[in-house]
Structure formats: C-alpha cells, structure tokens
Homo-oligomer: A and B are copies of this chain.
C-alpha cells in the first residue's frame, strides 16, 4: 500500500512550529507493516490543493493533517472537495458532535465553528473527542480517477492521536492493502554507553546477521539501537547486543526511562523522593508524566536557592560556605535530607551549573554532582561534566539521575 502524508499549516514553514507528525506517523504505520512513501508540508492556501492533487495520483492512501479549524485560513475541507470534484454539505452527525463538545465544556459555540461540520458528500465523519474539528474519511470510490483513499485529520497531537487509533487504523485494515511483511522493529534503548563505543562493539557482528537492518540514534544521554528484520534475525541481533550491554539496556518495548523507573518501583513496592537544584523539577516532572506515579513518588524538593537546601533538606550552611552548592558534601546531604524528610525508600539528588552564567575556573558551566541514597545501602555520589546548552544540560542530568535510580533498584529486591 503506497501511503503519503500531507501536513498543512503556514506555521510549519515559517519557523514558528516544530512538525512532529513525520516521526509519529512513521512509528504508527510501521507497526501496521506500512512505510511512508512521502511526507509533504505546505503552507495554508492554494498549495494544499496542488499538493493533494499530486499525492492522490501517486498513493493509495493520503493522510492530510491540519486546516480543519474554524478560522479563515482553514481550507483543507474546501481544497479536498475541489480536488475530488464533490460538493460540501453540512453533516448532522458532525454538527451534533460539535455541539456536544461545547456542551461538555459548558461553553457557547461560536458561529464560525459551524463550518467545521461541512463535509464532502458521501464522506464519513470521524468523531473528535478532544477538540472541535471532526475528521473526514473519503473512501477511494469517491475519487474514481485516482482510486485513492483520503483522510482529513486535525493537526494538534492530542486530537490526532486518538482519532488515528480509533478511526483511521480500522479503515486502513479494511482497505486490505496491509501486507504482513513479517518484518519487525526491535529498539534497544541504552543509557550509560556512548554511540561510537556501542557501534565499535556490535556493528560488525550485527551486519553479519542475514536479513538484519541496523540503525543507531544518539539522543541526550541515550543511544537507541534499531534492528529491523524477521523475528529470527532480530533475536540473533538482540543476543549479540545483550551479551555485552545488558546492564545498559533499559528497555526493548519503547518505554521512556521514567516509565521503567516508575514501573520498577511499583513492582518492588518502593517509594522515591527527589531533591533537585540544577534540573529545577525536570526529574519529578518526568516521573509524574507516568500514570500511576502517585503510588511511588511522594516528595519532590526543588531547592534552587541555598536557603531552600538548608531549610527543606537540612544541608549544612558551613558545607555550603566551604564547598559551594555544587559539591560532593552538598549533594550527599541533599539526597540524605530528602530521604529523611520524605520517609521514602530511595532519594536522588542533583546539583550543578546549567549555565550560561554561574561557572568558575574550578567549577565550569556543565559541572554536576549526583547522589542516590537508600534505606538499605550506602549513599553513592557521582560527578559528571556535560557541555550542552541549558535545556539539553537539564535533560542530560535528568537521564543520569533516573539511570542512577534504575541501577540502584537492581540491587534492592
């Protein structure tokens, strides 16, 4: 099945908005055994019509996103009707769905929203539980010349993702073009090993496994190794990698590191507290992104100021004066203070210099100390140096911290 994606929206090409649809659709469609043939991004306006007219000639299915809103630059419905040579009519089901959405929010519907209930004659309306724009499915028979199925979908991820899963996937399956290639992707996500070291160690043996496609993706304090092939080839590849890097591999199921940490804590019946300086709450934010975090995460101390470290965590003022806030004794006292104040089983603490200001000759921007304390073992302290911009620094340190907790949990039953 030849499948193309058409993303509409001037904001995607004016440099104001990052387009994440390519990655997301790629993942979703690969899981269905499909590979995206082309992704086209165009600004609002006539370009939508031109690009859609070309795509329907090349593809069996076109997924169009954006331009379904209530405003004057939202013209995807109109452009599609024009390309397919059909009329638009106000759809009753779509109108009811719009009215229900506003009723749930206890708001009055603006007159401009009415146009969102316009659909090409003969098309299906795809309900939107998370926004005002209903999706639209135009089956191939309505588009005789090209024989191409067209889906019009909302741009915002919180509306697009559930609609794709509930409405698009079943229709793709019923179009019958999904061939079972038998290929799978295995993604082994690692933390604590560098991309070139991993490559050096495993690339040659992996490339000798017949029918195995290998890819590497270096992220911040993480390397994702991608194996594509039939199950037998993938399992050979997995065994090769795990023989060397089992301790560094935190998941093979696409989980984020914070999900692995929350799941492991829950499985062991343990609780965690955090004491953050330079990461400013990013570690607790990541932990609480995981549903069920409230069962394992109790207290987060964002002790940005020195007084906060003293008052909330009992860090010694003398040590702060003698060693500075970014030091071994301070991070140790932060972790142990968080453990004591929270009553949790494990506490992790970080303090560092995110920059751009605040560095010294002795402790340049990028210096960070991490500590993990637990009820059952000795407090472990680590020093690292990361030369990254502020946000990337925070992300990297949060990876280091979550990984320390993950490794600590291996020793606690």
Interface residues of A (CB under 8 A from B): 9-20, 22-30, 35-44, 47, 51, 54, 69-73, 104-105, 107, 110-113, 130, 132, 156, 158, 185, 187, 194-197, 199-200, 203, 207, 214-218, 220, 224, 226, 254, 274, 276, 279-285, 287-289, 291-294, 297-305, 307-308, 311-312, 341-343, 354-358, 385, 387-392, 394
> Residue A297 contacts which of B35, B104, B304 (CB distance < 8 angstroms)?
B304
Q: CA A208 – CA B277 in complex, angstroms?
A: 51
Q: CA A20 – CA B283 in complex, angstroms?
A: 23
> Residue A308 contacts which of B218, B281, B298 (CB distance < 8 angstroms)?
B298
Closest B residue to A58 by CB, please name it.
B50
- Taking a contact as CB atoms under 8 Å apart, the answer to whether A390 and B289 are in contact is yes
- Taking a contact as CB atoms under 8 Å apart, the answer to whether A289 and B20 are in contact is no
- Taking a contact as CB atoms under 8 Å apart, the answer to whether B37 and A43 are in contact is yes
Residues of B within 8 A of A305 (CB): 294, 298-299
- Taking a contact as CB atoms under 8 Å apart, the answer to whether B23 and A291 are in contact is no
A-B contact pairs, 13 of them (CB 8 A): A10-B226, A13-B39, A16-B185, A44-B215, A69-B216, A70-B195, A71-B203, A158-B389, A291-B390, A294-B305, A294-B358, A298-B304, A299-B303
Identify whether the interface residues of A are mostly helix, strand, loop, or mixed. mixed
Residues of B within 8 A of A300 (CB): 276, 280-281, 300-304
Q: CA A250 – CA B276 in complex, angstroms?
A: 29
CB distance from A245 to the nearest CB of B (A): 15
Residues of B within 8 A of A342 (CB): 308
Q: CA A7 – CA B20 in complex, angstroms?
A: 14
Q: A110-B200, A285-B394, A289-B391 are in contact. List 19 more A-B contacts (CB 8 A).
A: A12-B26, A16-B215, A19-B19, A22-B41, A35-B43, A38-B40, A39-B40, A70-B199, A113-B196, A276-B300, A279-B288, A280-B297, A282-B285, A288-B394, A292-B357, A293-B304, A294-B305, A300-B304, A301-B312
